[in-house]
Structure 1
């Protein structure tokens, strides 16, 4: 399947919720920041809710908030909540057994791809949403000077 833009949208939404943690944000507010559609944002937020990362309240003054502290949510948590399947695409059908490369390529690639995916998961697991808020605020301060 590969990584889609859902991960970036999810991480963006979580960072916004962490940045303005004193209030709920609507999907429209988050969509404005993404220059995107609120329906898409609601779908992503629904997956984040199912993963226990956010929760929502209905009605006037309702919206979305983090279900855990920003320092307890990693980029891998966001990725895992919205992406399905392996990161790197595998052969869509088995290669030819009549070819010495074809006979072994799936096993060789599986090992390499699995190691690469594990490295990505480990790296994303080291960065928290709190860290992204800090980076965002630091960059904003740099722009102000």
Structure 2
């Protein structure tokens, strides 16, 4: 899909780790270690999550990132919207030819299809909380490691 990137996966991973910490904080380096990623990338994603009021940070010794809300109050769609933006599908960058039978109406037809698909994504991701996701992770045994 045009608008999707790894940012959502990174954001959800970070939120799940913070939820697993149960009120404690993690540094961006600790989260990056679990992702096998760069702490700068993780800080950029966490900054977007902070802008959306999903996490907060404390500076200095003993500082780090923490959830700003209970894991049951954060959905996967909250994370997605914070880091990806609202529009998944790209529209025409400029209007197609009105002289063409297809060009005249394709924009409206595509908009309806794209809006329907975006609503379905919002409903699906909005129905799963970070708490629910973490429960599934831990139940599957993937959370057995100390990350």
Q: Which moved more, 1:122-131 or 1:84-93?
A: 84-93
Aligned length: 144
**Following the alignment from structure 1 to structure 2, what is the Cα–Cα distance between the partners of residues 4 and 44?**
12
User: TM-score, normalization: structure 2?
Assistant: 0.92
**Following the alignment from structure 1 to structure 2, what is the Cα–Cα distance between the partners of residues 82 and 141?**
25
1:4: Cα distance to partner?
A: 1.7
**Following the alignment from structure 2 to structure 1, what is the Cα–Cα distance between the partners of residues 31 and 143?**
23
Q: Which moved more, 1:112-121 or 1:82-91?
A: 82-91
Map of 1:96 onto structure 2: 97
**Following the alignment from structure 1 to structure 2, what is the Cα–Cα distance between the partners of residues 37 and 141?**
22
Give unpaired runs (5+ residues) of structure 1: none
User: TM-score, normalization: structure 1?
Assistant: 0.93
Give unpaired runs (5+ residues) of structure 2: none
Map of 2:33 onto structure 1: 32
Map of 2:17 onto structure 1: 16
Matches within 5 A, 1:124-143: 124-140=125-141
1:24: Cα distance to partner?
A: 0.9
Q: Show structure 1 runs of 4+ deviating over 4 A.
A: 141-144
Asked if the contact 2:28/2:65 (under 8 Å) is kept, the reply is yes
Map of 2:66 onto structure 1: 65
Asked if the contact 2:23/2:67 (under 8 Å) is kept, the reply is no
**Following the alignment from structure 1 to structure 2, what is the Cα–Cα distance between the partners of residues 87 and 141?**
29
